[in-house]
């Protein structure tokens, strides 16, 4: 019978899955390998993601796990989602089929966690550092990969979501299962709206999209390439009322949790498409349930990741994105509403601020922009400003006609802002140099 392998997340260990492991053995009769690599030292500051996947490949071979395509089922939690994806895309690139058949991701941090940058703070080191082998170390390199808008997750998506990959009904059949409720008690301090306490619902979902916006050198027009949806079919299921820890079944295994895990482990190429449709139908019911709620805790969000570069490919770290709109009402209040209620959570990646995440409340956005003649607009300003007398190089963005506004009309809003999804937006700006930068003189 097909064995099951479990991989854990940051600061987690195999004991978190003891209850689930025993129940799966009982329900399926299959061998459950309790983390061949799953006890990797993810709290060690010296360990990188590449170290982990290289060690995983060695451990996989040394343990005698199957290497034939579609020969093993895998369950991952939290950071484990990044580990298994990076492992598969690194050792089986360009659409080759890895050993994984059915892949169940429990609350994976596929596109970041709002706690990751806090994990490197004093609070994170005190809360998580005491139990580590190296006192006060919380796996800094791993947390950098987990940080919202990280270049690592951005590039991994290019590798396995927008290029040839193994995700399909006849290849790796992936199901993401994530809760929508934060922690209780003291741990509730970590909660963010639209999250399970550790990951956002939207950053767990494997399904994503990307778009490239290019600002022209002449006239500052914004040319938008066609939006590209991620390739490779995957299922996505929200479980109402579960937080990041309870989704592993470490406290209890109610039918509401166990059944979808078993279904995801037993899907085949003939019924996977139907399973994906069922999961999406269930998600729509949950979104509808909370659509009228004034409390944004359970609202749907889109993780909108911006990466701004110049036309030579160099990062542009100092920029501002402003959102506003054309409306039949609330004209003067729109900017305030957007920043307070729709995109109130923003994060610039610590090591490279050209990458930024905007959590867009799609539940509120769809309610505010509800008329056909309304539209959402944004503009971008960047430094250095080449028109400044003191600047020799830079960008043209502060003049009235330097960069045109990018407008999304009401019918396009749902296309660009989809609930429980990540959208990657790359903006390319022309960089200008004044004549004084380089001059030739006749001797």
Identify the domain boundary among 293, 310, 340: 293
Domain ranges, residue 38: 4-207+230-293
- Residue 215 is assigned to a structural domain of this protein: no
Question: Do 371 and 288 fall into the same domain?
Answer: no
Q: Is 360 helix (H, G, I), strand (E, B) or coil?
A: strand
Question: Do 203 and 316 fall into the same domain?
Answer: no
Question: Do 265 and 382 fall into the same domain?
Answer: no
Q: Is the pLDDT of residue 336 over 80?
A: no
What whole-number percentage of the chain has pLDDT above 90? 63
List the end-to-end C-alpha distance of the chain, in Å, as a whole number: 83
Q: What is the spatial distance between Cα 153 and Cα 307, in angstroms, rounded to a whole number?
A: 12
Question: Do 266 and 323 fall into the same domain?
Answer: no
What whole-number percentage of the chain has pLDDT above 70? 89
Q: What is the CATH number of the domain that holds 55?
A: 3.40.50.1820
Q: Which residues of 426-438 are buried (b: 16+ CB within 10 A; e: fewer)?
A: bbbbbbbeeeeee
Question: Do 273 and 304 fall into the same domain?
Answer: no
**pLDDT level of residue 172 (50, 70, 90 thresholds):** very high
Report the number of distinct structural domains present in the chain.
Answer: 2
Mean pLDDT of 88-95: 94
Q: Is the pLDDT of residue 35 over 80?
A: no
| Nearest alpha-carbon partner for 235 in 259, 211, 271 | 271
**pLDDT level of residue 330 (50, 70, 90 thresholds):** low
Q: Is the pLDDT of residue 238 over 90?
A: yes
- Residue 219 is assigned to a structural domain of this protein: no
Question: Do 282 and 401 fall into the same domain?
Answer: no
Mean pLDDT of 85-99: 95
- Residue 438 is assigned to a structural domain of this protein: no
| Nearest alpha-carbon partner for 418 in 229, 273, 243, 278 | 229
Q: Is the pLDDT of residue 139 over 60?
A: yes
- Residue 340 is assigned to a structural domain of this protein: yes
**Hey, what are 48's tokens?**
């990188």
Question: Do 279 and 313 fall into the same domain?
Answer: no
| Nearest alpha-carbon partner for 253 in 6, 27, 7 | 27
**pLDDT level of residue 38 (50, 70, 90 thresholds):** very low
DSSP assignment of 88-155 equals HHHHS-TT---SEEEEEEES--TT-BTTHHHHTSHHHHHHHHTTSSSTT---HHHHHHHBTT-HHHHH
Mean pLDDT of 197-202: 96
Identify the domain boundary among 240, 260, 293: 293
**Hey, what are 12's tokens?**
């987690």
pLDDT score of 285 = 98
- Residue 213 is assigned to a structural domain of this protein: no
Most confident of 23-27, 141-145, 212-216, 397-401: 212-216
With contact defined as beta carbons under 8 Å apart, do 180 and 172 qualify? no
Mean pLDDT of 113-129: 67
pLDDT score of 329 = 54
With contact defined as beta carbons under 8 Å apart, do 209 and 227 qualify? yes
**DSSP symbol at 395:** B
- Residue 441 is assigned to a structural domain of this protein: no
Which helix (H) or strand (E) segment holds residue 321: the answer is strand 319-326
- To the nearest 10 degrees (0 to 180), the angle between helices 80-91 and 49-62 is 70
pLDDT tens digit sequence for 362-388: 999 988 877 666 788 888 999 999 999
Mean pLDDT of 114-120: 82
Sheet holding 4-7, edge to edge: 32-33, 4-7, 72-77, 100-106, 173-179, 234-239
Question: Do 271 and 307 fall into the same domain?
Answer: no
Mean pLDDT of 148-157: 98
Higher per-residue pLDDT: 287 or 435: 287
Higher per-residue pLDDT: 184 or 87: 87
Provide the 10 A C-beta neighbour count for residue 255: 7
pLDDT score of 126 = 43
With contact defined as beta carbons under 8 Å apart, do 362 and 300 qualify? yes
Least confident of 236-250, 281-295, 360-374: 360-374
Higher per-residue pLDDT: 122 or 179: 179
pLDDT tens digit sequence for 381-425: 999 999 998 899 999 999 888 998 888 888 888 899 999 999 999
Q: What is the CATH number of the domain that holds 322?
A: 2.60.40
Least confident of 10-14, 37-41, 240-244, 253-257: 37-41
**pLDDT level of residue 127 (50, 70, 90 thresholds):** very low
Question: Do 338 and 403 fall into the same domain?
Answer: yes
- Residue 222 is assigned to a structural domain of this protein: no
With contact defined as beta carbons under 8 Å apart, do 138 and 132 qualify? yes
pLDDT tens digit sequence for 264-279: 999 999 999 999 999 9
Question: Do 98 and 243 fall into the same domain?
Answer: yes
Question: Do 305 and 180 fall into the same domain?
Answer: no
Which helix (H) or strand (E) segment holds residue 382: the answer is strand 375-382
Identify the domain boundary among 293, 327, 342: 293
| 169 Ramachandran zone, left/alpha/beta (phi>0; psi -120 to 50) | alpha
pLDDT tens digit sequence for 291-307: 999 999 999 999 999 99
Q: Is the pLDDT of residue 124 over 70?
A: no
Question: Do 251 and 314 fall into the same domain?
Answer: no
């Amino acid at each position: 019978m097909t064995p099951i392998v479990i991989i854990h997340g940051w600061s987690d260990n195999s004991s978190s899955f003891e209850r689930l492991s025993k129940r799966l053995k009982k329900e399926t009769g299959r061998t459950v390998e309790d983390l061949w690599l799953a006890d990797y030292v993810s709290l060690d500051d010296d360990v990188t993601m590449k170290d982990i996947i290289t060690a995983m490949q060695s451990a996989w071979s040394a343990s005698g796990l199957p290497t034939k395509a579609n020969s093993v089922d895998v369950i991952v939690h939290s950071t484990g989602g990044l580990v298994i994806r990076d492992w598969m895309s690194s050792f089986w690139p360009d659409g080759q089929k890895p050993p994984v058949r059915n892949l169940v991701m429990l609350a994976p941090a596929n596109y970041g966690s709002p706690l990751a940058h806090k994990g490197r703070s004093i609070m994170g080191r005190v809360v998580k550092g005491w139990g580590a082998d190296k006192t006060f170390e919380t796996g800094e390199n791993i947390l950098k990969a987990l940080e919202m808008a990280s270049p690592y997750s951005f590039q991994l998506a290019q590798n396995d979501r927008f290029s040839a990959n193994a995700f399909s009904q006849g290849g790796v059949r992936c199901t993401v299962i994530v809760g929508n409720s934060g922690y209780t008690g003291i741990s509730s301090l970590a909660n963010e709206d639209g999250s399970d306490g550790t990951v956002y619902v939207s950053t767990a979902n494997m399904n994503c999209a990307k778009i490239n916006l290019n600002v022209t050198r002449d006239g500052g027009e914004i040319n938008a390439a066609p939006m590209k949806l991620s390739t490779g079919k995957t299922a996505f299921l929200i479980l109402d009322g579960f937080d990041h820890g309870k989704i592993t079944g470490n406290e209890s295994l109610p039918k509401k949790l166990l059944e979808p895990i078993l279904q995801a482990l037993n899907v085949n190429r003939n019924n996977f498409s139907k399973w994906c449709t069922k999961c999406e139908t269930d998600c729509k019911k949950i979104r509808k349930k909370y659509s009228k709620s004034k409390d944004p805790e359970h609202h749907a969000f889109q993780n909108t990741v911006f990466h701004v570069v110049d036309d030579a490919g160099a990062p542009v770290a100092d920029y501002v994105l402003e959102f506003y709109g054309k409306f039949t009402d609330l004209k003067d209040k729109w900017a305030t509403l957007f920043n307070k209620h729709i995109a109130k959570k923003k994060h610039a990646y610590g090591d490279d601020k050209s990458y930024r995440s905007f959590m867009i409340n799609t539940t509120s956005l769809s309610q505010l922009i509800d008329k056909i003649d309304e539209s959402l607009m944004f503009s971008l300003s960047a430094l250095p400003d080449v028109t400044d007398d003191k600047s020799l190089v830079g960008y043209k963005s502060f003049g009235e006609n330097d960069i045109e506004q990018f407008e999304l009309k009401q019918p396009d809003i749902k296309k660009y802002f989809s609930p429980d999804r990540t959208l990657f937006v790359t903006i390319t700006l022309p960089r200008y140099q004044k004549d004084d930068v380089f001059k030739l003189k006749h001797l």
